[in-house]
Amino acid sequence: MPLHQPLKLFATGFLLLFLSACSMNKMMVNMSMPMIEGGIEAMNEESDLQLAEDAMPANISMLNSMIRLDPENAQLHIYAAQAYYGLSYGFNEDRDNRRADRFYLRGLKHGLIALELLGLKNIKKQNIETLEQQLQQLDNDNIAAIFWTASNWAKWIDLNRDDAASLIQLAKPTAMMQRVLELDDTFYYGSAHMYFGVYYGARPPMFGGDFTRSKKHFDRAREINQDKLLIVDLLQAQYLSRQMFDQQDFHQRLTKIIEAPEDLYPELTLLNQIAKRKARLLLDREAQWF
């Protein structure tokens, strides 16, 4: 046997072992997917905010571990983008902007990886026209990746609204949310309509705001979730009512949220509890704003 023959056999054996390990990792991840989906449903139904907040870091650590096992699994990156968004918006943004900023960026990173795995590359470097063309290639199977990437991106920009370099990026998540509307405007309880409700309601008309369009988007979101998702009224009060300097509408919407039944939307109890807490924080600032 030639001297180099054992090296070839060793290399072949190592490659087969590596491929076998990769296959085992992917199989383990695939078997865990129903557990992740069940965990998301259970978290959405949680009524105790502290319990939910305490559980989220462990859930995110588990997701990151699974991504290490299967880094090209787009769905895992989508789950991670959703998890970081939920942690930032639900629990960090109101008391620690710097931490929320970091988590939105982590969520954005996972969202961009998911979109790259689905065929959209170098999104941050593309001009808006190229991005819009590429978004047309994605269909309903890719809507979650588009939505959670845009959500993290837009919220990070919102936290850094005083930085012109951040604001100039807003056209890209806006184009992505427009694609979500085109594909399925009911996706995630009409959240793309909430996005555009904020987008048109948070600015005066001279700077691109449109209060009529904002209200139409909020109304459509309420129609989609049968007026059971309190976050719609929260966002309308926080952005549109405040921009219109309508204190009565601001106060009534936030009071309605606080007084809403605890079991208004059992499948989304956690999000409604977050809305109630945020409504109380906004009411504490009413005298400062009006």
Q: Are residues 74 and 173 in the same domain?
A: yes
In the predicted model, is pLDDT for residue 23 greater than 70? no
Distance CA 208, CA 214 (A): 11
Identify whether 17 is part of a domain: no
Least confident of 35-39, 83-87, 128-132: 35-39
Q: Which domain holds residue 237?
A: 185-290
Q: Which of 22, 112, 120, 106 is nearest to 64 (CA)?
A: 106
Least confident of 12-21, 79-88, 234-243: 12-21
pLDDT at 275: 98
Distance CA 187, CA 143 (A): 8
Q: Are residues 82 and 174 in the same domain?
A: yes
User: Counting beta carbons within 10 angstroms of the beta carbon of residue 126, is it exposed (0 to 12), middle (13 to 18) or buried (19 or more)?
Assistant: middle
Q: Are residues 174 and 262 in the same domain?
A: no
Grade residue 10 by pLDDT with cuts at 50, 70 and 90: very low
pLDDT at 22: 56
Q: Are residues 74 and 95 in the same domain?
A: yes
pLDDT at 3: 42
3-class secondary structure, 256: helix
Q: Are residues 86 and 39 in the same domain?
A: yes
- Decide which of 86 and 17 is more confident: 86
In the predicted model, is pLDDT for residue 208 greater than 60? yes
User: CB-based contacts of 29: which residues, under 8 Å, 6+ apart?
Assistant: 66, 69, 70, 73, 76
Contact 32, 68 (CB under 8 A): no
pTM strictly above 0.75: yes
Q: Are residues 222 and 165 in the same domain?
A: no
Total domains in the fold of the chain: 2
Grade residue 39 by pLDDT with cuts at 50, 70 and 90: confident
3-class secondary structure, 46: coil
Distance CA 232, CA 240 (A): 11
> Looking at residues 148-157, what average pLDDT do you find?
97
